[in-house]
Amino acid sequence: MKEYKVLVNFYKAEDGGRKTEINTTFPYRPIFVFDKKNYHCQIDFEKGVKIFPGDRVEAIIRVFNCPIKIGDTFALRELKEIASGSVVSELM
């Protein structure tokens, strides 16, 4: 599993994104969509920080077996909905 620093732009509900805030008490585990393929991932946000639809945040993401590099864009999917558009900013 590799770690990357990413910039995550969560879509607002009216843009097809989340309708509620993200609970940062627990790891966030959406589906990581890159190059039309789905990967398992985990994102750890700073605990106690409230993240709402429409927010843009930096985070550390852990992805299993995905060949991404700095500058690559990807999406995060929750169930059938795309929750964010994101970009890799740093390799850890």
Dump pLDDT digits (tens) for 39-81.
Answer: 999 998 888 888 999 999 999 999 988 889 999 999 999 887 8
DSSP bridge partners of 56: 9
Locate the domains of the chain by residue range: 2-91
Contacts of 86 (CB under 8 A, 6+ apart): 6, 7, 8, 9, 73, 74, 75, 76
- Prediction pTM value: 0.84
- Say what the pLDDT of residue 80 is: 79
- Say what the pLDDT of residue 71 is: 93
**Is 1.10.3720.10 the CATH number for 2-91?**
no
Q: DSSP readout, 2-50?
A: EEEEEEEEEPPGGGT--SS-B-TTS-B--EEEETTEEEEEEEEPPTT--
% of residues, the chain, pLDDT over 70? 100
Two tokens, residue 73: 């864009």
% of residues, the chain, pLDDT over 90? 52
CB 8 within 8 A of CB 76: yes
- Say what the pLDDT of residue 37 is: 93
